[in-house]
Chains A and B, each alone.
Chain A
Amino acid sequence: MAQVRVTVDGVEYVDDVEPRMLLVYYLRERLGKTGTVIGCDTSNCGACTVHLNGQSVKSCSVLAVQADGAEITTIEGLARDGELHPVQKAFNECHALQCGYCTPGMIMQAVDLLADNPDPDEQAVREGLEGNLCRCTGYQNIVRAVQSAARAMKPGATAPVDTPTPVAGGQ
């Protein structure tokens, strides 16, 4: 057993864990942070993405012990004071999720991407999300959501996130 001391979504925890415990299992099983999910064994799908000391990581490819002393933000800690993060809002408004399983990772990676590049073009969004797989959406609305969130997050932006303007009309 090894001791880890971490701050997750603003709360400090101290726990003894087996060295082999992956960070994602620690979050899910010890802390009950089941919002972060597991989609693969090989760090391809990105569903488990969280922020570790302000950078996105795949929590299935980090040992809990490696995170000792770290500050972690999960999808459950993204909204502040009851207010959804602009990326969360944009995912809803642009219909950027269907089954929702990839969504926590997609959102966490999108937030990281926008921190590095506040005004990404379509290609930059696609490349910034290349480590996140989605089987439902075909990614198009995810890209749209990230760009929409980028506009909403611009300093001084007052306009709400884009209302959906689906290409598919009723007729």
Chain B
Amino acid sequence: MIPAKFDYVKPSSVEEAVQALQQGGDDAKIIAGGQSLLPVLRLRLAAPSLLVDLGGIAELRGIRDEGDRVVVGAMTTYYDIIRDEAVQQHVALLGQATETVADSQVRHRGTLGGSLAHADPAGDLGAVALALDAEMDIVGPSGRRTVPASEFFVDYFTTALGEGDILTAIRFPKYTGWGSHYEKFNRTAQAWSMVAIAAAVRVEGGTIAEARVGLTNMGATPIRARGVEEALVGQPATAEAVRAAAERVTEGTAAPSDADAAADYREHLAKVLTGRAVLAAAG
């Protein structure tokens, strides 16, 4: 199917892009990798009047090691994230979750920034950003600001990005030496997550010293499973202890119901998968 008509600009700097968005007003929309947006446009579920393509802004691409942070440019593709050494070494969970996103072709085009800004609760990377306390660099009409992931996700497909705002980079604290695992449950390999668990743990002498757990598709936004994290700390990394902690995973969730999974089933899955994710992360 062919999208409805729109205008198109491809600015070469963030400032130009912000300007273009402001001029475009309400109906302007950013296109990053376009892997979520183009199907939506093709199905005519949205009809923006202007697309502002960030593909021409070189500074939005690439991954930098900034000492205690790994900074991922918003327009960095999944493909590049998966293969990045700094990601593999310090933010392994991001790479692991990114590998499960969609399929190879989509990962060649899709970007981390695009995915986070789209904020589909079934998207895989919001839970990772949340679990790992990432920070979002945003440039907008009123200048630059940084928003923690915990404040970034607001509602279904809604983030802290305002009109004219552009997500430029995602800053991840380093989790060097942590174990991590992204446990994804879906109907078919290319389907969106029915439920997925992002888990990272630091194990010291068989005991879980720190834990981070994020949940995909257990509510209107990605959710941080703080109850599970609390329950894990100080516990031995055994199946029994981890499963017991995983029981708290549904705290604060609002699991959706659809044809594939009613809320109670999602809640059950979240418990089972949290146990599996944490155990796999703990190695």
Contact = CB atoms under 8 A, between A and B. Distances in A.
Contact of A18 (B5, B41, B108): B5
B5 A43 contact: no
A62 B7 contact: no
Given A55-B79, A61-B34, A61-B38, A131 B106 contact: yes
A126 B189 CA distance: 10
A163 to B, nearest CB: 29
B43 interface: yes
B190 interface: yes
A127 B4 CA distance: 34
A52 B106 CA distance: 12
Given A63-B8, A65-B10, A131-B190, A57 B105 contact: yes
Contacts of A41: 1, 39, 42-43
B53 interface: yes
Interface residues of B, number: 30
Main secondary structure of the interface of A (DSSP, over half): mixed
B109 interface: yes
A49 interface: yes
Given A20-B3, A22-B2, A57 B108 contact: yes
Contacts of A113: 104
Contacts of A55: 79, 108
A122 interface: no
A62 B109 contact: yes
A127 B189 contact: yes
A42 B103 CA distance: 13
A73 interface: no
A127 B102 CA distance: 11
A61 B8 contact: no
B218 interface: no
Interface string A81-124: 00000000000000000000000000001001100000000000
A19 B108 contact: no
Interface residues of A, number: 33
B53 A66 contact: yes
Nearest to A48: B105
A52 to B, nearest CB: 8
Given A130-B104, A131-B103, A66 B2 contact: no
B157 interface: no
A2 B7 CA distance: 9
Interface string B119-141: 00000000000000000000000
A128 interface: yes
16 contacts: A19-B5, A20-B2, A22-B42, A41-B1, A41-B39, A41-B43, A43-B105, A55-B79, A56-B104, A62-B38, A63-B8, A63-B31, A63-B34, A63-B38, A109-B105, A112-B105
Interface of A: 2, 18-22, 25, 41-44, 46, 49, 52, 55-58, 60-63, 65-66, 68, 109, 112-113, 127-128, 130-132
Interface of B: 1-8, 10, 31, 34-35, 38-39, 41-43, 51, 53, 55, 79, 102-106, 108-109, 189-190
